[in-house]
């Protein structure tokens, strides 16, 4: 009876993972087909659609792992074959999940778009997997070993790390997209995923049914959340103004003319008035985007950075919405004007050729004693 139950679980995992992986690939294909032109103008940005590829690959790994385990267990294969395959697939699954988080905007700052830290975590998880295999040999652990299975301990640590990174990334993402129920659901599902790993450290026959049940519920839930993530990314892209239609012109001090057709904004003039700090910050972003080299196009926004808080960015957006008297559906948000690069860095979304700055205004700004760095940017662009 136990074998039939476990075989049913494995077959369910194979087909659910396969369907989920194919659906994620379909979403990625749709993003490439319908938003290729829009994304091509931000090629330097680590894009979420690449993350969809790696999430899809992690599901293919689940499918492959369950397939190998099913074939081996139903053909009286070696338990060592199962252990080795589980170890290899564990490395691959962890690798693809880390690579996926590298592209998600709301992943922890030490991971998102941070190649150095991502590599450290990948090396760490490979080391843990090697240690797990070594312990299996030393303690002669098998899938049927009763009591503590020491070889599973490193894998539990790896699962704990990945669960934390996934939980933080997905929770932040769905909160940002105003999907609070999904954000809470993602925490519950990821908790179940980790809990389902615990019985592997102790082979307890009486818990096998409940463990398989928790696993299939948790994995189905996580696949569903990945699909919601992909769909919400498509919706976000559809609602974000296309940069090829956006224009901004700094005409004088505290005066800007912008055009964002998808928001119903056509050559509208904005008078910042006494909001000098907002105007200066927006002008800094524009000069960097238009004149600086790619590595200098962004500004660090954090306590101690050039712009000390994200509140300053929000104030720019709120002030523009108020001045233009935009309605709810047409109101600008931060993603419309600024792109998050990672490591607390933001960049203006407007394409350089669609950014115009009055020559006298630019000259006065860069010769201000507080803006000497910007003189270097304009010098580079004139070469």
Q: What is the pLDDT of residues 297-347, one digit of tens each?
A: 888 888 777 888 888 888 899 889 988 888 777 788 888 888 877 667 888
Residues 6+ apart with CB under 8 A from 201: 148, 149, 152, 153, 156
pLDDT > 80? residue 358: yes
Q: Tell me the pLDDT tens digit for each residue of 65-79.
A: 889 888 887 776 566
Q: Tell me the pLDDT tens digit for each residue of 126-165.
A: 777 777 767 767 766 555 555 566 667 777 777 888 889 8
Which one has a higher pLDDT value, 182 or 376?
Answer: 182
pTM score of the predicted model: 0.78
CA distances from residue 3 to 11, 29, 70, 220 in whole angstroms, order as listed: 12, 39, 10, 21
What length does the chain have?
383
Question: Which overall architecture, per CATH, does domain 2-239 show?
Answer: Up-down Bundle (1.20)
Q: How far apart are CA 192 and CA 55, in angstroms?
A: 19
Q: Tell me the pLDDT tens digit for each residue of 181-231.
A: 999 999 999 999 888 877 776 666 666 788 888 889 999 999 999 999 988
pLDDT > 90? residue 357: yes
In which element (H, E) is residue 278 found? helix 276-291
Phi, psi of 327 (to 5 degrees): -80, 170
pLDDT (0 to 100) of residue 1: 47
Numbered ranges of CATH 1.20.1070 in the chain = 2-239
In this prediction, residues 170-190 reach a mean pLDDT of: 90
Residues 6+ apart with CB under 8 A from 299: 284, 285, 288, 305, 306, 307, 345, 346, 347
Residues β-bridged to residue 355 = 248
Q: Are 298 and 287 in contact (CB under 8 A)?
A: no
Residues 6+ apart with CB under 8 A from 31: 39, 49, 52, 233, 234, 237
pLDDT (0 to 100) of residue 198: 77
């Amino acid at each position: 009876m136990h074998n039939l139950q476990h075989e049913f679980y494995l077959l369910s995992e194979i087909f659910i993972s396969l369907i989920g992986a194919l659906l994620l690939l379909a979403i990625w294909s749709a993003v490439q087909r319908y938003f290729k032109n829009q994304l091509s103008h931000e090629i330097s940005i680590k894009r979420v659609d690449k993350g969809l590829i790696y999430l899809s690959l992690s599901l293919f790994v689940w499918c492959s792992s369950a397939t190998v385990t099913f074939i081996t267990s139903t053909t009286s294969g070696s338990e060592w074959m199962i252990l080795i395959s589980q170890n290899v697939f564990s490395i691959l699954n962890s690798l693809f999940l880390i690579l996926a988080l590298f592209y998600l905007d709301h992943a922890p700052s030490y991971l998102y778009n941070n190649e150095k830290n991502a590599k450290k975590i990948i090396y760490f998880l490979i080391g843990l997997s090697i240690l797990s295999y070594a312990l299996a040999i030393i303690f002669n652990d098998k899938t049927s070993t009763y009591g503590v299975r020491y070889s599973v301990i490193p894998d539990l640590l790896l699962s704990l790390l990945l669960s934390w990174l996934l939980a933080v990334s997905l929770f932040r993402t769905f909160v940002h997209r105003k999907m609070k129920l999904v954000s809470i659901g993602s925490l519950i599902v990821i908790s179940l995923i980790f809990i389902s790993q615990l019985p592997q450290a102790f082979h307890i026959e009486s818990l096998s049914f409940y463990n398989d049940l928790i696993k299939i519920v948790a994995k189905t839930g996580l696949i569903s959340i990945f699909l919601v993530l992909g769909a919400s990314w498509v919706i976000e892209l559809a609602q974000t103004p296309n940069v090829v239609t956006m224009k901004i012109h700094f005409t004088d001090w505290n005066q800007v003319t912008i055009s964002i057709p998808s928001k119903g904004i056509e050559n509208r003039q904005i008078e910042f008035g006494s909001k000098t700090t907002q105007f200066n910050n927006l002008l800094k972003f524009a000069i960097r985007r238009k004149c600086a080299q790619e590595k200098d196009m962004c500004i660090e926004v954090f306590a101690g950075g050039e712009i000390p808080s994200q509140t300053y960015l929000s104030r720019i957006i709120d002030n523009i919405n108020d001045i233009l008297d935009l309605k709810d559906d047409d109101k600008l948000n931060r993603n419309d004007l600024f792109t998050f690069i990672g490591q607390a860095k933001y960049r203006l979304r407007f394409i350089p050729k669609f950014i115009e700055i009055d020559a006298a205004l630019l000259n006065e700004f860069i010769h201000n004693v507080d803006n000497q760095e910007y003189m270097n940017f304009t010098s580079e662009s004139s070469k």
